[in-house]
Structure 1
Amino acid sequence: MGDRAKTHIGAAGGATTADRPATVRNVVLVGHSGSGKTTLVEALAQTAGAVVRPGRVEDGGTVSDYDEIEHRQHRSVQLSLVPVEWGGYKVNLLDTPGYADFVGELRAGLRAADAALFVVSAAQEAEAVPDVTRAVWDECAAVGMPRAIVVTHLDTARTGFEAMTRVCGRLFGGDDPDAVVPLHLPVLGPEGPDGHARATGLVGLLSRRVFDYASGERRAGPPFDDELPAAEAARNRLIEGIIAESEDETLMDRYLAGEELDVGTLTADLEKAVARGVFHPVLAAAPAAPGGSQGLGTVELLDLVTGGFPSPLERAAPRVTTVRGAARERIGCDPAGPLLAEVVKTASDPYVGRMSLVRVFSGTLRPDATVHVSGRRPADGHAPAGPGTDGEPVAHDADERVGALSSPFGKQQRVLPECRAGDLACVAKLAHAETGDTLSAPEDPLLVEAWPMPEPLLPLAVEAHGKADEDKLSQALAGLVAEDPTLRLEQNQDTHQLVLWCLGEAHREVALERLRARYGVRVDAVPHRVALRETFGAPASGRGRHVKQSGGHGQFAICEITVEPLPPGSGVEFVDEVVGGAVPRQFVPSVEKGVRAQAERGVAAGHPLVDVRVTLRDGRAHSVDSSDAAFQTAGALALREAAAAAPIHLLEPVAEVAVLVPDEHVGPVMSDLSGRRGRVVGTEPAGSGLTVVRAEVPELEIGRYAVDLRSLAHGTGRFSRTYARHEPMPRAVAEKLRERSLIDA
């Protein structure tokens, strides 16, 4: 298991500060909203001695949720780091939001961690584990990340611990449900007034000992007689699972021969299997009883984390390239090696400014050192793209001086002298650094491969509430997007709207609240408009006459044009067919300029005119009063007159949509897309009981599809969209839009 200090499952905690990568454990907590992740972090911190009482840090403030929005909404909306010490190890607990709208924070936590704790609530129905949690489990499995499962809320359980363990084996075990087994069984006390029995202790299946937590302190003793039958059966399953994953091929023969295997040997093999990511123990945990300092199962969980989860030395760093995309060798976790760190979270502190949470993969980060900050963003300003594509340069590329280093703990920041490879720390005042950026040595700038981020597909059009807000809006939005790469900012040139693309309604509300509370900017949400177009439904002619005489030089320009529709995608063509010099050569470009300017403004509903050919046929000029401006005006007037004589069709954008859903939701999804005026063009299997439904849908109909699909597919579906083309809008739809005042009739 590499260079690891030995602390076996079941050992007592200690208080030695970790100063080497081998003594660091980076653990992310994953689970659906309400599963109890934050409460579990509080309980672990209390057991480790970092908290005097639940929910409080020694010098005040909550341990995990330090954002004011989280206090108001009573849910986690961002990644938070809680470092604790246990048995000579430093354990960085990364608490992630469980709500689907904040999956970007979850992915940042996965990037910063070397192992994962999946938190499952027994208070919910057994089958209520969201598919998004299962999908994250599969992602961890694909990269070999070690995982364990923690069952919470046993005091209000709808599903017993053993039944929940079997459910987890079926949901997470895949082809090997025997690799998901409990290490302990809870001991239940008498039923309370609500009819639920509170867990008061644990039976250690390997040690056969009972650990009593009824007093709030862990006390070891002999097993209860009435617990032995269930414990022995569970113990046999655990031992068989350990043997199946053991590298010692003699264990199975010795076990079948009836030999009593040494607990130390089984524990060592268990730890190795957990570290390799092939064995997934299930544990129970609960906060401490009133007046106690150790929550149920928290000692066992901390021992598993320190003894069974890998150190940063045992986990490969992300792929590394130069800033131009040239591949580099994998860089090891060496405090004396070249500096390689990544910003996994960015936040703004009202007192110290921008704070960057950094995972150091190699080297040592020190205050006042100069580092190179590099990151790449695609043209639309969305999340960092992966390096190594066509050698394109990074979007920002600068040297910066590192500010103070600190270790976050709730609202407190504890000063650090340095941050070594394998550890995490907060860095103050990195002005150019954004989430996903790389920190490296100035003489050898590097770029780490970006982690996958979901595409935000729920639009939020905003306007400044007042003049004071307008002055600060641009800077506030830029800061908001730098903090959260799952937000995308768009200045739509067609609709002239400022659009913030979000993952869902909760994500949208948090973005608005942060603008107000963190940046002091108030904005108004306005209806999002799509980029409509206009075109001619039939050929038409128009005559533009601009003649004015007011003493001195006047204005004189007359032009005659014909307009005919063209196939979609043709744009605006201008053809000069004037003969005999009716319109002097120098004024033909003026007519074209006027026609194109009017086409941009629209001729009916104020949307750009496209897919037409405008032909200049004839005109008249005056030797003195004709001018460039006069013929521009005449060209615009001619186009408007032609539009008045022809049917004008509104064109709406159509998107190609690909919806990935479980097979059982394909029918409802196809029916829903058809109800949105969509054309389903096909389906194709995507493996593991999933299907991709492809359709072409007007963008007017999918503005809220990110929210509606989540409801339709019970949170299991996701989709992507790309612009396909503009198509004529049905007359009934156009009239309905006019009635709603979304277009100017």
Structure 2
Amino acid sequence: MKVYSSDKIRNIVLLGHGGVGKTTVAEAMAFASGAITRRGSVNDGNTISDFDAEETKRHFSVNTSILPIEWEEYKINILDTPGYFDFVGEVEEALRAAEGAVIVVSAKSGVQVGTELAWEKAEAAGLPRFIFVNGMDEEGANLVKVLEDLQSTFGKAIAPFQVPIKENGKFVGFVNVVKMEGRKFEGDRVVPCEIPDSMADEIDPVRQMILEAVAETDEELMERYFDGDEFTVDEIQDALKSGIVSGDIVPVLCGCAINGTGIGVLMTSICRYFPVAEMVHPTLDAVDKDGKPVKVECGETAPFSAFVFKTSVDPFLGKITYFKINSGILRRDDPVVNVTKDAVERMNRLYVMRGKEQIEVPEIHAGDIGAVTKLSVTTTGDTLCGKRIAVNFPPIQFPDALMCMAVEPKSKGDEDKVSASLQRLMEEDPTIRLVVDREMKQQLLYGVGDQHLDVIVSKMLNKFKIGIELKKPKVPYRETIRSKVQVQGKHKKQSGGHGQYGDVHIIFEPSGDLTQPYVFAEEVFGGAVPKNYFPAVEKGIQECVKSGVLAGYPMVGVKATLVDGSYHPVDSSEMAFKLATALAFKNGIPQAKPVILEPIMTVHITVDEAYMGDIIGDLNKRRGRVLGMERVGKKQVIEAEVPQAEMFTYPADLRSITQGRGMFSMEFARYEETTKEVQDKIIADSKLQDEAKS
């Protein structure tokens, strides 16, 4: 592949609902451009985009892949993203490297949840958009209905460029509404044809949509439109390009990727209408080494800087680092500094990656996407610079991974291997989190959803030959007391030589502070217990509260006041008083109405108003309490408090309830007494575990 200058590069991300054919569109573009000689199939598992073992097994995209193709003297970097919500981290990475988005929509299903989310993400990233209606050859395809769905959902920005020509129900060509010319498909070619007279009623309203969209880009054009003046083709195309770059116009193209129809037109439109990187981002925000904001000028003449937007681990090549050059030109063997890590990296060879294929190049220009292997410290989110500049670009904001399961190795002795292998997967996927819960003696694996976690389990087995099991996490319950009691604890033992004697009278009562395990006080009069034994008594309390009397969970909110006792001048010792304290604890706490506390989480759920009833009903089933509701934009935000034990699978459950439209965040609020039914179950489970150990 030859080296391309910035003005000839287009970076486009394919977005859309899962299963609408994004990977098939990418495959068709690669085939039409000559990048591949045989068109693969997702079902057959032989596309150049879905090359990972998990993708070929599951028949859908799990990772973002990059496919550079050459078309009409341009280079198009296609970023093919997963459509399933669990892999949204891959989408965020791709958005960071793109200057335009093609949202793929099914000609049968029209606007789906993934379509709306794709639009929102592209809009938030400030990307110009095309919509490609795929599957026009399929039975039930209805472009008119799809256009109505698109306009009702996204408004007047929708501007269809084509009206399909059908013969005997088959998609054989289209009318280019911009130029008002007919086109027919002949094999891989598109040839001119007459516009059928019978299509006037279909074409006129679509033509009016285009003219209205053009008129709204400029006041002078608007006046001419109302005066009934005709626009020239050049005026229409110039206005369309301006409107597309600003986001005011979103063209709709149609085709059928599975047989390649309409794909050449899509690529030509991408080259003609989508902007170069420098037009979308003339400057980029960054910070210098002192953390002060700076503006980085983009373009080939500026000093070299690049952002690492993706990392993958190949079993043969090792770590592959994908970067987008924001400014300057990177040449082979150029000295490069990782500003984020303050380390020098060596780049002996530069590549552009087409799926898993490495294509070596001598240099890469601003606006282009490149790759390098075996960098020592560089990870996703790092900034690479040349010697003339030292800046840091802001990191990618990944969604919080809130789906949590405890991870255990299937084979004993693999604990360290599990941690090391998951760390390698975390280099590839920053949405994965591994947390070591020392209190509950478990490793917690966090992912975006259940499918995400399932892929992680599969990758662990296939890539690292380590079998792991995911189990429901243990909840860090606490125990406390609800009443006041005074008890005696006496430890007296005689043996050869010195005996052991310790005697304490302790009042146990709630301290009122559940953030502290215990509060110790002494109110001993007359030297009944010498002061030098007070620390031993407190140490006894400190050790005892580590395990409560109901289910063995740590205790909180306990106040222990030493009020009386006795000692022996010879047989008393610190150990004896510590043991006496333990006896007092064992006897007294069961009398002080012990209860189990559970962690309560504050949850903020953002949903469409239509789902409010279902969400509140579901929260009630989880023993949650709704604290309030607030409208934010078009959404409703519900604030609630829910026991942590009920929230481990909530990401998947919320997605099911809202068809993927809901989002939530969660943070620890406090500990609170649980219900008797839950408490009884916790105690019963604890007894079963004790019996299993014995």
TM-score using structure 2 length: 0.92
Q: Give, in angstroms, the shift of residue 225 of structure 1.
A: 2.9
2:676 aligned with 1:731: yes
Counterpart position of 1:114: 99
Correspondence for 2:175? 203
Residue 257 (structure 2) aligned to one of 264, 272, 287: 287
Unaligned segments of structure 2, at least 5 residues:
none
Q: 2:424 — aligned with what?
A: 479
Deviates more, 1:544-553 or 1:457-466: 544-553
Q: Which moved more, 1:485-494 or 1:502-511?
A: 485-494
* 2:112 corresponds to which of 126, 129, 132: 129
**AA aligned opposite 2:615:** V
**Secondary structure of the residue that 2:540 maps to in structure 1?**
helix
Match of 2:187 in 1: 216
User: Which secondary structure state, in structure 1, belongs to the residue aligned with residue 545 of structure 2?
Assistant: helix
Does structure 1 residue 669 correspond to structure 2 residue 669? Answer: no
Q: Does 1:321 align with 2:306?
A: no
Q: 1:258 to 1:373 in 2, by over 3 A?
A: closer
SS at 2:464's partner residue?
Answer: coil
Deviates more, 1:694-703 or 1:626-635: 626-635
Letter in 2 for 1:206: V
After superposition, residues 549-560 of structure 1 pair within 5 angstroms as 551=496, 555-560=500-505
Q: Is it true that 1:243 corresponds to 2:214 in the alignment? A: yes
- Give the aligned partner of residue 46 of structure 1: 31
Q: 1:265 to 1:227 in 2, by over 3 A?
A: farther
1:297-338 superposed Cα distances (whole Å, 9 cap, x missing partner): 11111111111001011122542113553211x212233423
1:561 corresponds to 2:531: no
Residue 442 of structure 1 and its aligned partner are, at CA, apart by 6.7
Partner residue in 1 for 2:13: 28
Partner residue, 2:481: 536
Distance 2:345 2:629 in 1: 50
Encode CA deviations 1:434-489: one digit per residue, 9 max, x unaligned.
Answer: 32222234785432223332222111111122244223122112222232222222
Contact 2:3 2:364 in 1 (8 A): no
Contact 1:535 1:650 (8 Å CA) reproduced? yes
| C-alpha distance 742-32 of structure 1, shift in aligned 2 (>3 A) | farther
SS at match of 2:414: helix
Residues 217, 248 of structure 2: 8 Å contact kept: no
Deviations 1:167-207 (A, max 9, x none): 1122122xxx2x312212222232xxxxxx33122222233
* C-alpha distance in structure 2 between counterparts of 1:488 and 1:46, whole Å: 38
The equivalent of 1:310 in structure 2 is 275
1:142 CA displacement: 4.5
2:162 — aligned with what?
184
Equivalent residues in 2 for 1:693-704 (5 A)?
A: 693-704=638-649
Tell me if structure 1 keeps the 8 A contact 2:7–2:276: yes
Higher mean C-alpha displacement, 360-369 vs 44-53: 360-369
Structure 1, residues 75-104: CA drift from partner, whole Å, max 9, x if none?
111111111111111111011111111111
Structure 1 residues 300 and 256, CA gap change in structure 2 (3 angstroms)? farther
Q: How many residues align?
A: 686
Contact 1:147 1:277 in 2 (8 A): yes
Q: Does 1:275 align with 2:245?
A: yes
Deviation at 1:145, TM superposition (A): 1.7
Matched to 1:657, the amino acid is V
1:88 maps onto 2:73 in alignment:
yes
Post-superposition CA distance 1:22-71 (Å, at most 9, x none): 111110111000111000000011111101111289xx963111111011
Using the TM superposition, give the Cα deviation of residue 671 of structure 1 relative to its aligned residue in structure 2, in angstroms.
2.0
Distance 1:155 1:459 in 2: 42
Match of 2:657 in 1: 712
1:645 equivalent among 546, 567, 591: 591
Distance of 2:675 and 2:225 partners within structure 1: 77
Distance, in Å, in 1 between the alignment partners of 2:422 and 2:452 is 14
Q: Is the 8 A contact 1:570 1:612 kept in 2?
A: no
Matching residue of 1:154: 136
Counterpart of 2:601 (choices 634, 655, 663) is 655
Q: Please, which of 514, 537, 543 is the counterpart of residue 459 of structure 2? A: 514
What's the % identity of the aligned pairs? 35
Distance 1:410 1:636, change over 3 A: same
Query: Which of 430, 437, 445 is matched with 1:500 structurally?
Result: 445
State how far apart, in whole Å, the 2-side matches of 1:87 and 1:313 are: 20
SS at match of 2:325: strand
Hey, what's the Cα distance between the residues in 1 that align with 2:387 and 2:435? 32
- Counterpart code for 1:111: R
User: Which of 344, 365, 389 matches 2:330?
Assistant: 365
State how far apart, in whole Å, the 1-side matches of 2:360 and 2:537 are. 69
Q: Tell me, yes or no, if the aligned pair for 2:24 and 2:41 is still in contact at 8 Å.
A: no
**Is the 1:656–1:721 contact (alpha carbons within 8 Å) kept by the matching residues of 2?**
yes
- Distance of 2:430 and 2:688 partners within structure 1: 33
> Aligned equivalents of 1:353 and 1:739: distance in 2?
49
Matching of residues 429-468 of structure 1 within 5 Å: 429-441=374-386, 445-468=390-413
Distance 1:258 1:340, change over 3 A: closer
How has the CA–CA distance of structure 1 residues 146 and 636 changed in structure 2, closer, same or farther, with 3 Å as cutoff?
A: same
Q: Deviations over 1:139-174 (max 9, x none)?
A: 43355321110001122253411221221122122x
* TM-score scaled by length of structure 1: 0.86
> Would you say the 8 A contact 1:679–1:697 is kept in 2?
yes
Q: Deviations over 1:363-403 (max 9, x none)?
A: 3334444544355xxxxxxxxxxxxxxxxxxxx55443345
In 2, the alpha carbon distance for the partners of 1:56 and 1:447 equals 40
Distance in 1 (alpha carbons) for counterparts of 2:387 and 2:645: 48
Q: Is the 8 A contact 1:595 1:639 kept in 2?
A: yes
RMSD: 2.7
| 1:155 alignment partner, SS class | coil
What are the residue-to-residue correspondences of 1:591-610 with 2, within 5 Å? Answer: 591-610=537-556
> 1 CA distance for matches of 2:334 and 2:505?
70
Quickly say closer, same or farther: Cα 1:711–1:232, change in 2 above 3 A. closer
